[in-house]
Amino acid sequence: MELKPIRKNITLKDQAYEQIRQAINTNTLKPGTSLTEEQLSSMLSISRTPIRSALQQLVYEKLLSQDATGHIYVSTITEKNVQDTSKVRTVLECMAIDSASFPLSEAKLQELERIDREQHELIATHPEDNLRFAELDKEFHCAIAACCDNASLIEFIQNINNVMVRINVLSGTLPQNRQDALIEHENIIAFLKKGQREFAKVALSEHLKHVEERMLSESKKER
């Protein structure tokens, strides 16, 4: 396992968090891998204090797990994880649309369209970059959350989509399903632009259902 030494020009906790999170999302740190402050402190060439804060944040976001003895390890992904995450995402993101004030501001709509354009451009220029595509997918769903004015709801959706980045990459479903996902995104945007709240919720629910089905279908193929 290799991690890059930390640069000192931004918050050490934030740098540690990003390095560890990226290692988890790219499967450099594999599910079940045990992590210690001492080990990461040596790898990243910083003290244990920012490492401890980064690990606590990642445990809160469910990318890491902590057992009853305090040991921290990379969370595993099971079919049940995928199903549970999909159910919670659907409820929370539809709730965000329910809580939004329509018509949505031009700025919010433009943000959704910007992310959509970037995902299309990424497929054209760097089709192999599944991690960046998954990060942009997270941005899209977080931008839907930002349409409402409920800070707690937005935070919950951000956290669950942090987990989804990893699930998306490790599921192996992105290369063959990216175009379908983008069509589904664009349907959601179209209904939001028209102010059709209920249709947008249905389109979002169907999209998340399809994402779950594609992941579970790929999982069954691998058995």
In a domain, 85, yes or no: yes
Burial of residue 207 (number of CB atoms within 10 Å: 0-12, 13-18, 19+): buried
Do 196 and 101 fall within a single domain? yes
How confident is the model over 30-84, as pLDDT tens digits?
889 999 999 999 999 999 999 999 999 999 888 899 999 999 999 888 899 899 9
Domain harbouring 93, CATH code: 1.20.120.530
Residues 6 or more apart whose CB falls under 8 angstroms from that of 22 comprise 28, 131
Alpha-carbon gap, residue 3 to 202, rounded angstroms: 42
Q: Examine the pLDDT at 99 and tell me if it is beyond 80.
A: yes
Could you tell me the residue range of the domain that residue 197 belongs to?
79-221
Residues 6 or more apart whose CB falls under 8 angstroms from that of 172 comprise 218, 222
Under 8 Å between Cβ of 68 and 194: no
Domain boundary among 74, 91, 107: 74
Mean pLDDT of the chain: 91
Q: What is residue 78's predicted lDDT score, i.e. its pLDDT?
A: 87
Residue type for position 125: T
**Average pLDDT value for residue range 210-221:** 81
Under 8 Å between Cβ of 178 and 133: yes
Q: What is residue 26's predicted lDDT score, i.e. its pLDDT?
A: 84
The alpha carbons of the chain give a radius of gyration, in whole angstroms, of 18
Axis-axis angle for helices 130-145, 12-25 (nearest 10): 120
Domain harbouring 68, CATH code: 1.10.10.10
Do 20 and 87 fall within a single domain? no
Share of the chain above pLDDT 70, in %: 93
In a domain, 4, yes or no: no
How confident is the model over 124-147, as pLDDT tens digits?
999 999 999 999 999 999 999 999
Q: Which residues pair with 73 in a beta bridge?
A: 34, 65
What band does 219 get if pLDDT is binned at 50, 70 and 90? low
Share of the chain above pLDDT 90, in %: 75
Pull the structure tokens for residue 182: 């983008």
